Amino acid sequence: MTAENIPTPAAPDTIVLIHGLWMTPRSWEKWVERYENRGYRVLTPAYPGLEVEVEALREDPSPIEAQTVPAIVEHLENIVGELESPRSSWATQWEVCLSRSS
């Protein structure tokens, strides 16, 4: 990071924020603004099938019932894997966690 809060060329320029259960990407809205103002590209993927606003899920929570851990993990792996430089310390830690849970 430079003194102007701009990512250096060697530093990752994309941040992927993943919400927890019972949350939506909207839970990151203030963080997205913070990191984008510092020059980062920020992704906040929804779980598969939950790409709607929280109000819609309150009205019809049935998409939540369809969620499975393997489907969520595969979805997030695909998003991270499509990044120009998907390797990071987080990705490595994620893979370690996944291998331990298998």
* Verdict on whether the full-model pTM lies above 0.85: no
Distance (Å, rounded) from C-alpha 22 to C-alpha 9? 36
Does residue 3 sit within a domain?
Answer: no
- Mean pLDDT over 81-92 rounds to 64
Does residue 2 sit within a domain?
Answer: no
- Mean pLDDT over 31-38 rounds to 93
Does residue 42 sit within a domain?
Answer: yes
**CA 81-82-88 angle, 5° bins:** 45
Q: In 3D, which of 68, 29, 64, 69 has the Cα closest to residue 50?
A: 64
User: pLDDT tens digit string along 42-81?
Assistant: 999 999 988 888 899 889 989 888 889 999 999 999 998 8
Look up the domain containing 64 and give its range. Answer: 14-101
pLDDT at 4 over 70: no
pLDDT at 99 over 80: no
Q: Is the dihedral of CA 18, 77, 45, 102 positive or negative?
A: negative
pLDDT at 82 over 60: yes
Does residue 8 sit within a domain?
Answer: no
